[in-house]
Structure 1
């Protein structure tokens, strides 16, 4: 009985020949190689090692049906990210398992071709070219320095730690309120970066005294501020927490960086800060405004890096969809036309390091997120990547847009003047003129209201501070009336009336 899998190899070049020879020697019992795919017309119907070139990329689906292909192996390591994504998206429309041969340098590092072959991941379908870093410039501000990363145990924070470790810092200080994430990162560094001095400090950016103790002890040269609440629906329900953690936390951390003369302070921002329609986005815009204004009389360079969604980050749509697929569906989607910008965690962290090397006071660096991706298409691809068929094995249910959710995100406000720098994946928005005195008074007013938990008043003051913020009060049971220039919450009137009657 023949239990061998039918294998189709894409790429009839040197790498394809290497795969063919290796598989014949080591995995001939497992695979029957049915043919090659190659886009060069001159190779059509020729043979490589006795195996025929059957067609080009446009023939893949038909050949897979005719030859009853079980697995496809992409063996063109030199292919651009865009070219790879185009071919893999075609392959993803078959029922075949898809595998990829990595770059020749990765194969040499692993030392075994069989072990080098990996399964296709969602990231492979996004056409994101690798980031080219200016290692000299980055090493210039990290090597031999103490680097503090708030929220260092989170998705972005932990990847920043890994990337920073490559540039030989004197010390990395991970500051995080969540001990489990920080503990896992600490254990990872013991084996992955044994020569890196990693100090895990548990604490909250809300706690000004704790921050002062940490800054006084470690005197960080560089501060990456990644600690923040980021979930839009949760922050709509908990606006006071969004303000206290995101805005007050940023102000506390930035003030400490200024007080203890850090060289650089980098805020991790979000595309949701642009023309925000939700509390989370409005708080992130306020954080940008803080770093644009607080550094005017400081030796510390304050900058922000703004980007969109990160694939696979905690609580993002991809892990949610994967979990829903694992449980048999359905995948829940708020709107069929919702689009978002995406990049990988590694790419985001690397571009943050690169952008920081260009840092100019109060500037906002906007990362090139590529083309927006329809979340509906993302769901379809994830279902197919799982070897399942959309709407047959896994259904997709449209639930409706949530409060504060946009159909699409933006990377730039109308007032911002965007210019290019030498890295083609990074743009810079020049600082806006913000009057710190009046802005600080508005922040104090916001913090006072946030301490009461009054969501209506919080949103009103947010809209006064962030002129581009628009919102709708979904809960009509609580709203404000204006009387003699004073805003009064209707629920306060009800409570007073009940108290007087009783």
Structure 2
């Protein structure tokens, strides 16, 4: 018994319950008899009933987890638990009593109403002791001086969780004075004691009237235009504005105060969360060996993460830069150790006393990780890698992507983006891969840059491979991703940190943007629905003015254009376009079953066209190897007739 009590987490509640369950039947009998006079008549029955009831109910309380709760922070869940547990325990206790009452082996005679009175009193006693702890905690906080006055924007699940966590952590010195929410049904309502003060349009008035020190935007699924409007309203009053991460950052699904951060440019460009057919992706990936080129890059590393989370059995990380591969390898190894511990815990919990256990297929085991440094142009090395690891799926994310830099390195762009892709496709064909996915770009549409035209040639290689293979070969085309290496967002951030100036190429320049996780989720969805030969195009939403992006980033840094930092206009660089396109003018396309994914319906052409194009591509690779830029450019114009160089534009 002593050992049991030492292990029991709420020993004081256990002892209180023992006392209560010993006294309550006696009180119930007194109430039933309207006094003490007739109590001795039922002495033996009362003693047996009390002892039996105590044992039965304490066992049920323990199994239900009443002694594993921290009642100081009890919520409605704990109240429901108390109600159900006491009800079940009382029913079981009453059933045992009435069963024994009519057996001749034991005298347990009591008035039939005693078990029911006992049940009501037990509920009041068991629940009352625990609720009193929660009430004491609540009233002790009410007596403390108020902290910084916080306004929570959004009274949904995320906002309520933030309010509750602030209330539960007095040391934060924060006081949630109210919610703001655009739902008319919530106006004037109190949620966990916090009043909904108005709608977002009332923000300036509410901030001034209630002397708000900080506003927290608790709307993880709100689109960027909504966040932008709220930030603008808060800026009118000068109140400090924070936010919780968007839905793509909330990996765990639970909001915590530690996740609150400053509003960033990604929040203003946020879009509606993408809904993907998770089972399609999981069925494609689970148990498969997946090779990812450019695995250390922005898109490649996110592909690694999501392949691991979707149950790939092995990940082959292929890259040319050793540090980036080292970094993503370490991250995945750390994730794998955590995941392995979680799986072991799931297994131990699933293995019950009956010997039943969960199917191994229901548990997501972390993949084996193979980190390889290789050049995709090295055919012999690629052949050895494919022979050793035999990947089922290939995601080809490696490429030269820097537009102005590739304008000065035409032969290198062809060598990497075309010859490298061709070498990879040949190794994949020889190995018999099930699925090959090329990561392409919107710059391949009506290309004017060396980078764009070489990626368009890579798309043509995919179409040709699909026409002669059983495996599924597809390309996925999309625009800029936020905060990737070399992206305009990172460049602006660095320029602002240095004190400026922030350089914008042209006042009217616009670009498509999406977050890295969103892009990769859609890439995987497109890959799962591919039948072979498709060029999928991701819906990038509305293009963003680069000048507006610069102004927003400067304002979010607490600076003012013209006073603290300047914007300079450098002019369009070689290979750049004012507006990017997702389809060529002559390129037929249609929406797929997924609302955010389109597909080009032009196809690769007839067999003789494909053969002629492949012959030209071989000549192109040879010309680049011989460093003949004029010949390279002429061949590119033959392979991609819509290609226009910067000079010709």
Q: Secondary structure at the match of 2:467?
A: coil
Residue 453 (str. 1) matches residue 624 (str. 2): no
1:302 aligns with 2:445: no
Instruction: Name the residue aligned to 2:85.
Output: none
Give CA deviations for 1:130-183 in whole Å, capped at 9, x if unaligned.
Answer: 222222222222111111111111110110010011122121111111111000
Cα deviation for residue 451 of structure 1 reads: 2.3
Contact 1:107 1:113 in 2 (8 A): no
TM-score (normalised: structure 1): 0.86
Higher helix share: 2
Is 1:433 matched with 2:605? yes
Note closer, same or farther for the CA distance 1:333–1:109 as it changes in structure 2 (3 Å cut).
closer
* Structure-2 separation of matches of 1:51 and 1:136: 40
Q: Does 1:332 align with 2:332?
A: no
| Range with greater deviation from structure 2 (313-322 or 128-137) | 128-137
- 1:414 and 2:585 are equivalent in the alignment: yes
Shift of 1:52: 6.0
Query: 1:52 & 1:321 partners in 2: Cα distance?
Result: 40
Asked if the contact 1:110/1:116 (under 8 Å) is kept, the reply is: no
TM-score, normalised to structure 2, is 0.67
Instruction: Label 1:258 to 1:116 Cα distance change in 2 as closer, same or farther (>3 A).
Output: same
After superposition, the Cα gap between the structure-2 partners of 1:457 and 1:167, relative to the gap in structure 1 and judged at 3 Å, is same
Q: Could you give the per-residue CA deviations for residues 78-119 of structure 1, whole angstroms, max 9, x where no partner exists?
A: 656664554345446664432234699999958774324343
- Say whether the 8 Å CA contact 2:592–2:598 is kept in structure 1: yes
- Which has the higher mean CA deviation after the structures are superposed, 435-444 or 353-362? 435-444
Partner of 1:464: 638
Q: Distance in 1 between matches of 2:613 and 2:440?
A: 19
Deviation of the 1:328 alpha carbon: 1.0
Give, in whole Å, the separation in 2 of the partners of 1:453 and 1:105.
44
Equivalent of 1:266, from 432, 437, 445? Answer: 437
Q: CA deviation at 1:445?
A: 2.2
What whole-Å deviation, never above 9, does each CA across 1:39-86 have from its counterpart, x for those lacking one? 345766777677665542223245546666442112345656664554
Q: Secondary structure at the match of 2:439?
A: strand
**Pairing 1:157–2:300 present:** yes
The 10-residue stretch of structure 1 (30-39 or 75-84) with the greater mean CA deviation from structure 2: 75-84
In the alignment, is residue 374 of structure 1 matched against residue 545 of structure 2?
Answer: yes
Q: What secondary structure does 1:233 align onto?
A: helix
Q: What is the rounded CA distance, in whole Å, between the counterparts of 2:517 and 2:625 in structure 1?
A: 37
Contact kept, 8 Å, 2:575 with 2:645, in 1: the verdict is: yes
1:34, 1:81 → 2: CA distance? Answer: 26
Paired residue secondary structure (1:357): helix
Counterpart position of 1:493? none
Aligned to 2:617: 443
Q: How does 1:340-355 map to 2 (within 5 A)?
A: 340-355=511-526
Alpha-carbon distance in 1 for matches of 2:160, 2:516: 33
User: Per the alignment, in what secondary structure is the counterpart of residue 392 of structure 1?
Assistant: coil
| Cα separation, 1, equivalents of 2:516 and 2:157 | 32
Distance in structure 2 (CA, Å) of the matches to 1:106 and 1:158: 15
Partner of 2:421: 250
Q: Is the 8 A contact 1:421 1:427 kept in 2?
A: yes
Shift of 1:416: 2.2
The alpha-carbon deviation at position 12 of structure 1 amounts to 4.7
Trace 1:64-463 onto structure 2 (pairs within 5 A). 64=207, 69-76=212-219, 79=222, 83-84=226-227, 86-88=229-231, 90-91=233-234, 95-101=238-244, 109=252, 113-194=256-337, 195-430=366-601, 431-433=603-605, 435-463=609-637
Q: 1:224 to 1:52 in 2, by over 3 A?
A: closer
For the residues of structure 1 that align with 2:157 and 2:316, how far apart are their CA atoms?
46
Q: Structure 2 vs 1, CA of residues 77 and 368 (structure 1 numbering), >3 Å: closer, same or farther?
A: closer
Alpha-carbon offset, residue 427 of structure 1 = 1.1
CA distance in 1, matches of 2:271, 2:633: 37
* CA distance in structure 2 between the partners assigned to 1:21 and 1:154 by the alignment: 39
Query: Hey, which of these two has a bigger chunk of strand by percent?
Result: 1
Deviations 1:254-284 (A, max 9, x none): 1111111111111000000000111100001
Tell whether the 8 Å contact from 2:223 to 2:269 is kept in structure 1 after alignment: no
- Distance in 2 between residues matched to 1:106 and 1:184, nearest whole Å: 20
- What's the CA shift string for 1:188-214, capped at 9, x where partnerless? 111112332110111011111111111
- Equivalent residue of 1:277, what SS? coil
Q: Which moves more between the two structures, 185-194 or 261-270?
A: 185-194
User: Could you tell me how far 1:315 is from its partner in structure 2?
Assistant: 0.7
* Secondary structure in 2 matching 1:320: helix
Determine the C-alpha separation between the residues in 2 that align with 1:121 and 1:149. 30
Identify the residue that residue 201 of structure 2 maps to in structure 1. Answer: 58
Equivalent pairs, count = 473
Question: 1:327 & 1:147 partners in 2: Cα distance?
Answer: 41
Q: Secondary structure at the match of 2:241?
A: strand
- Counterparts of 2:236 and 2:405 in 1: how far apart (Å)? 36
Which of these two proteins has the greater Rg computed from alpha carbons? 2
Contact 1:368 1:426 in 2 (8 A): yes
Q: Which has the higher contact order (CA 8 A, sep 6+)?
A: 1
SS in 2 for 1:73: strand
Name whichever of 16-25 and 115-124 sits farther off: 16-25
| CA contact 2:406–2:451 (8 Å) conserved in 1 | yes
2: distance between equivalents of 1:266 and 1:97? 45
SS of the residue corresponding to residue 144 of structure 1 reads: coil
